[in-house]
Structure 1
């Protein structure tokens, strides 16, 4: 069992990782010449001479999210939880790190003049990214179920809604990046909505798990168990 100070430090990593990842890709995307945040995926920011900035964002955020998972594990041990939820959060973190090491193939006309071509590096990027895009809604849904069983209905509802919105945004963005005409112009926007909702969930969960309110609710549950 982790010491309380170490647990809180790991939980803070969730806050830092979520804020860093979203803030960085929003800033980098707004400054990149020829890049359209409404149309192009976040991963495309790792292409080109300045792509290292997004690659570093992927890796540092991934390390922070992975560290957060061990703080979540420590909390869930006391609530009777298992490894599924922290394991899925680890998948998110490792997915981010892998996405940083393996650059995506050009898609959606960025960079300009680059033709879409499937490469081994691009395939590995997609494999690791699946850990993020599948891990987030799965972890949110499972944590929602745990919150419901431990008498946290509003947090349970928030987790379930997060999973639904994330999946809807993901599906719309995939259709857009697949060049489906009705969705292509705003594929990047759909992806950003999903990512902001998903990483916003990580941020709020990390804050809640180390809050006095959660500690009081947990103490009541322990005394009545």
Structure 2
């Protein structure tokens, strides 16, 4: 009876951690979009959400990065506990969470006319701007890899979904990383972000429901 009770308590903790995998994406997207649609000079088809860290209201996006990163880290621990046979899934998602924390600390450089009054073009690249880009690249590659790694431990349907999600996100990231400023690449990356955060939520919900808590 003691062992069963301990297992149930452990499952409840794991379920709580996985809950953050459901919350992280909607929180990040809603806060980012709310700013993108209301801040002067910001264009969804031209500017990356990272640029929102600049200006007098930049603290909102910085806080968004930090809180979302913490939620993703919590979900990563939950994944490690829920799928012990796939330790690299949690580790890779954890790197993604850490990269969001780094992206919040290392602010992206003003560019492309944002914030309002910034000269058009890429502008000067600072050390923290380079760090922001590097953190993002590492995190994006890791979360895409996590989707593929976890696919090996899922049912055929969910495995296919994970592989497709990871691939779509990787292609979206490759498009934006190419430096092509075409609106399609910017919007495509936004779509990729929605896809990978939806994947994290779906997987978290699936694992959450698989753990008995009573």
Give the TM-score, by structure 2 length: 0.88
- Segment drifting more, 108-117 vs 130-139: 108-117
**Contact kept in structure 2, 1:44 and 1:110, CA below 8 Å:** yes
Question: Which residue in the other structure is 1:60 paired with?
Answer: 67
- Aligned counterpart for 1:41 among listed residues 48, 53, 65: 48
Q: Distance in 2 between matches of 1:196 and 1:32?
A: 21
How many residue pairs were aligned?
Answer: 202
Query: Alignment partner of 1:111: what SS?
Result: coil
* Cα distance change of structure 1 residues 192 and 57 upon mapping to structure 2, 3 Å threshold: same
Match of 1:26 among 11, 29, 33: 33
Structure 1 residue 9, shift from structure 2 partner:
0.6
* Deviations 1:52-73, CA, capped at 9 Å, x for gaps: 1011000001001101111111
1:98-122 C-alpha deviation (Å, 9 max, x unpaired): 1111111123332344351111111
Query: 1:191 and 2:183 equivalent?
Result: no
Q: Does 1:141 find its partner at 2:148?
A: yes
Change (3 A) 1:105 1:190: same
In 2, Cα distance between equivalents of 1:74 and 1:133 = 22
Q: Among 128, 150, 154, which residue is 2:135 paired with?
A: 128
Partner of 1:159: 162
Alpha-carbon distance in 2 for matches of 1:7, 1:215? 8
8 A contact 1:19–1:203 mirrored in 2: no
Q: Which runs of 4+ in 1 moved over 6 A?
A: none
Contact 1:62 1:93 in 2 (8 A): yes
Q: Does 1:97 align with 2:101?
A: yes
Structure 1 residue 109 and structure 2 residue 116: aligned? no
CA distance, structure 2, for counterparts of residue 19 and residue 202 of structure 1: 11
**RMSD, aligned CA:** 1.7
TM-score, length of structure 1 as denominator length: 0.84
1:219 aligned residue: none
- Which residues in structure 2 correspond to 1:52-91 (within 5 Å)? 52-77=59-84, 80-81=85-86, 83-91=87-95
CA distance in 2: counterparts of 1:24 and 1:205, whole angstroms = 23
Moved more, 131-140 or 8-17: 131-140
